C-alpha cells in the first residue's frame, strides 16, 4: 500500500508535536533531501520519507536499492548537543532502535551485525547510514528497511531478506516507521543526557550477532582474523587477536564480517 502523507503527518503531530514530514514520491536519496533541508533551517526531528529512492547508499560507499512498496526508506534530521566525537554512537543506537522495533511489530528475532546492520537469521533486513552535515554539526540518520514480501535480487539472495516474507504476513511500513521513531527518540534522548554508550551497552550486546564469533576485520590497510568479544563504552568492537592482545575496532573505514558468511 502506498503512503498516505497526510495521515503520517497527523500521527507525527500526535506523538511528537512540531515534527515536520517532508515527503517525495521519488527522490535520489532521503539523506540528500535532509541535508538540503538542514541548510535551509529545517528543525531537529524533521522526517524525510519517500516511496522510491533511486540512488541510495550505505556505509563505505555501498549502494542501497530501494523498491517501491517493498521498502521503508526514510531519514531523520537531528541537531545534537553532543560533541562531534560522540556522533559515532548515533549509528549504534539507531541499529538498536530498529532491531527492537522490528521485534515489536513482527514478533521476529532481530540481531545486529556490528556496527549497525540489522539482520534476521543471517541476512540483512536494514541498512543504516548516519552522515554529519552543517555548521554547527547536525546529523542525518538514514534507514532502509526491507519490509515487503518480495525476494532479493539474485546477487543479494544470500545476504538480504524481507520482513513480511519472514513473518509470513503483511507488515505495515507505517507501523514499522512509528515503532522505530518511538524507540529512536527514547534512545536519542538518553544519549543526549548521558553522552555515553554505557547505558546501551548491555542491550546492544544482547543483540550483537558477532559477539563470541571469529570475524574478519577488513580495513584499507589490510585484514586480519580475530575473536569478537563485545563492545567498549565508546561503541568500538573489542576483538582478541591471535597473539592474545585485545584491540578496539572503530567503525570508520572498517568492515567486519563472519569467517563463514555475511555475519
As a whole-number percent, the residues of the chain with pLDDT over 70 amount to 90
Q: In this structure, are 162 and 228 located in the same domain? A: no
For position 19, what pLDDT does the model report?
Answer: 78
Total number of domains in the chain: 2
Q: In this structure, are 224 and 182 located in the same domain? A: no
As a whole-number percent, the residues of the chain with pLDDT over 90 amount to 76
For position 24, what pLDDT does the model report?
Answer: 94
Report the pLDDT averaged over residues 115-136: 94
What is the domain-level CATH number for residue 9?
3.30.930.10
Q: In this structure, are 246 and 124 located in the same domain? A: no
Q: How far apart are the C-alpha atoms of 41 and 96, rounded to whole Å? A: 28
The better pLDDT of the pair 68, 220 is held by 220
What is the domain-level CATH number for residue 223?
2.30.30.100
Q: In this structure, are 217 and 118 located in the same domain? A: no
State the DSSP H helix or E strand holding residue 155, giving kind and residue range, or none if neither: none
Give the model confidence (pLDDT) of 153-182 as tens digits: 655 657 889 999 999 999 999 999 999 999
Q: In this structure, are 114 and 43 located in the same domain? A: yes
Give the model confidence (pLDDT) of 201-233 as tens digits: 999 999 999 999 999 999 888 899 999 999 999
Q: How far apart are the C-alpha atoms of 133 and 34, rounded to whole Å? A: 9
**Using the 8-state DSSP alphabet, how is residue 42 labeled?**
P
Residue 233 lies in domain: 210-258
- Under 8 Å CB-to-CB from 119, ≥6 apart: which residues? 110, 111, 112, 113, 125, 161, 209, 262, 263
Strands 222-231 vs 214-219: parallel, antiparallel or unpaired: antiparallel
Query: Three-state SS for 248?
Result: strand
The better pLDDT of the pair 255, 93 is held by 93
Report the pLDDT averaged over residues 24-34: 94
Report the pLDDT averaged over residues 68-76: 88
- C-beta atoms surrounding 61 within 10 Å: 7
Amino acid at each position: 500500500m502506498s503512503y498516505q502523507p497526510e495521515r503520517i503527518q497527523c500521527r507525527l503531530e500526535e506523538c511528537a508535536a512540531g515534527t515536520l514530514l517532508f515527503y517525495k514520491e521519488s527522490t535520489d536519496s532521503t539523506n540528500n533531501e535532509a541535508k538540503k533541508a538542514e541548510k535551509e533551517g529545517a528543525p531537529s526531528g524533521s522526517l524525510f520519507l519517500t516511496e522510491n529512492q533511486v540512488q541510495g547508499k550505505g556505509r563505505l560507499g555501498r549502494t542501497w536499492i530501494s523498491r517501491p512498496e517493498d521498502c521503508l526508506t526514510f531519514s531523520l534530521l537531528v541537531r545534537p548537543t553532543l560533541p562531534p566525537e560522540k556522533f559515532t554512537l548515533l549509528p549504534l543506537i539507531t541499529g538498536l532502535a530498529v532491531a527492537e522495533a522490528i521485534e515489536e511489530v513482527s514478533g521476529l528475532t532481530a540481531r545486529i551485525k556490528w556496527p549497525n546492520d540489522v539482520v534476521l537469521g543471517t541476512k540483512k533486513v536494514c541498512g543504516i547510514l548516519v552522515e554529519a552535515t552543517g555548521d554547527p554539526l547536525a546529523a542525518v540518520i538514514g534507514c532502509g528497511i526491507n519490509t515487503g514480501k518480495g525476494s532479493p535480487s539474485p546477487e543479494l539472495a544470500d545476504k538480504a531478506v524481507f520482513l513480511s516474507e519472514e513473518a509470513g504476513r503483511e507488515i505495515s511500513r507505517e507501523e514499522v516507521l512509528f515503532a522505530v521513531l518511538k524507540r529512536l527518540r527514547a534512545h536519542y534522548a538518553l544519549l543526549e543526557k548521558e553522552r555515553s554508550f554505557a547505558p546501551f551497552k548491555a542491550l546492544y550486546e544482547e543483540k550483537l550477532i558477532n559477539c563470541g564469533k571469529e570475524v574478519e576485520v577488513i580495513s584499507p590497510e589490510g585484514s586480519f582474523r580475530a575473536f569478537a568479544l563485545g563492545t567498549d563504552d565508546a561503541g568500538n568492537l573489542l576483538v582478541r587477536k591471535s597473539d592474545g592482545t585485545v584491540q578496539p575496532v572503530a567503525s570508520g573505514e572498517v568492515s567486519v564480517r563472519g569467517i563463514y558468511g555475511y555475519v
